Amino acid sequence: MSEPKIRVVDYSKLKRALESAALMDPKLATVIELVGHPRPRKRPAEFVTLLQVIVSQQVSTQAASAINDRLLKLCGGKVTCRKILNRSDDQLRECGLSWNKVGYVRGLAEMIRTKELNFELLKSMDTDSVVAYLVRVRGLGRWSAEIFAMFALGHRDIFPVDDLALQVAVQRYHGLRQKPSPKETARLAQKWSPERSAVALLMWKYYGATTLD
């Protein structure tokens, strides 16, 4: 059975979710006043989104964007499983993918081609089931699965505790001397349930606003 969802593409729903979270934790209202409401995010539940999640791992936003642009050009304006499988490893490497990531995106494309990975099935799952289903894919860990559940499946109550930026944002929010561990971050974020996805978007924006270049 699927859990309640917030479609983060809808700005009004995102705003209401944050207002609800601020009733549980009034300090959030101060953060909203400081940085403003975050932008909604929505991605299609399809191959390209998971590919982009893999591409973005351990590289800067700018580098990931450049790689995605090169992959798009390599695939003639539309990235598909078939086109990725038909390109050589060297061609994929020339787009900026590491050798490991070349293997990951090929493996992902093959799982979708053989229907071992089914996006329609994912749409009916709760978050824990989505994570368990996706971490079978080489190159996708818990963080990647949670990001996909948030932005492609619209799950309402996720706070990706392995995300470094969120850990730092929580540290600043609570005035902690040290960055909290994932376990401590989860404990601190629990009070924002069931609106943790919305608060995560706010905390990413808070992190960006309070980080010097």
Q: How much of the chain exceeds pLDDT 90, in percent? A: 86
Domain segments of the chain: what residues?
A: 11-41+157-209, 47-151
Q: How far apart are CA 46 and CA 14, in angstroms?
A: 23
Residues 151-193 have pLDDT tens digits of 999 999 999 999 999 999 999 999 999 999 999 999 999 999 9
Q: How does the average pLDDT of the chain come out, rounded?
A: 92
- Reply yes or no on whether the pLDDT at 4 is more than 90: no
Mean pLDDT of 57-84: 94
> Residue 92, SS3?
helix
Query: Do the beta carbons of residue 148 and residue 8 sit within 8 Å?
Result: no
pTM over 0.75: yes
Residues 29-61 have pLDDT tens digits of 999 999 999 988 889 999 999 999 999 888 888
- Domain with residues 47-151, CATH architecture: Orthogonal Bundle (1.10)
| pLDDT at residue 213 in the model | 47
Are 11-41+157-209 and 47-151 equal in CATH topology?
no
Neighbours of 152 (CB within 10 A): 21
Q: How far apart are CA 85 and CA 117, in angstroms?
A: 16
| pLDDT at residue 58 in the model | 85
Mean pLDDT of 5-10: 49
Q: How far apart are CA 49 and CA 34, in angstroms?
A: 31
pLDDT category, 212, cuts 50, 70, 90?
Answer: low
Cα torsion 14, 46, 165, 99 to 10°: value is -170
Among the residue ranges 20-24, 118-122, 208-212, the one predicted with the least confidence is 208-212
Tokens of 5: 């969802």
pLDDT category, 12, cuts 50, 70, 90?
Answer: confident
Residues 85-121 have pLDDT tens digits of 999 999 999 999 999 999 999 999 999 999 999 999 9
pLDDT category, 25, cuts 50, 70, 90?
Answer: very high
- Domain with residues 11-41+157-209, CATH architecture: Orthogonal Bundle (1.10)
